[in-house]
Amino acid sequence: MDIDVKEIGKVTVVAPRGDVDMAVADDVRARLTQLVDRGRARLVLDLAAVMYIDSSGLGAVVAAMKHARAAGGDLKVCALEQDVRSVFEMTHLHTLLAVHATRQDAIAAWG
């Protein structure tokens, strides 16, 4: 899967492109986990280019969030398309992690 990674100061922005389903969820999880293990635990997951996410994808997001928090950081998400937002809302994930409207907002929230 095409996953764009940009380091902006102490914040790392991760932007997958395409559907985050069972076929690629492990790739997303591995990429995020590697970043945390390299000391990049302040994560922004930009989902602007993701039109579909399934339970496997959500599992990857949750696992990365837990991993980042255990390392003293966190994972914030941003730019959810309507269908992706709907899945986050159905599973209450939008209440358990920080959701921002834009990438700029998410980066700014790190201070």
Partner 1 sequence: MPTAVVRFTMTSEADQLVRMRSWLWTQLVGQALPLEACSACLVAAGEICNNVIKHAYAGEPGRPIALALRALDDRVVIEVEDEGTPYDPSGYTPPDLDAVPESGMGLFLVRRSVDEVEFDIARPRGTRWTLVKYRAKPAVTPPA
Min CB(37)–partner 1 separation in Å: 18
Helix (H, G, I), strand (E, B) or coil at 77: strand
Which residue do the tokens 């998410």 mark? 106
Nearer to partner 1, 14 or 107 (CB): 14
Query: 99 with 78: CB under 8 angstroms?
Result: yes
Nearer to partner 1, 53 or 107 (CB): 53
Q: Give the binding site for partner 1 (CB under 8 A).
A: 19, 21-23, 52, 54-56, 58-59, 62-63, 65-66, 82-83, 86-87, 90-93, 96
Nearer to partner 1, 95 or 111 (CB): 95
Residue 72 host element (H or E): none
Which of 2, 10, 24, 3 is CA-nearest to residue 107? 10
Min CB(25)–partner 1 separation in Å: 9
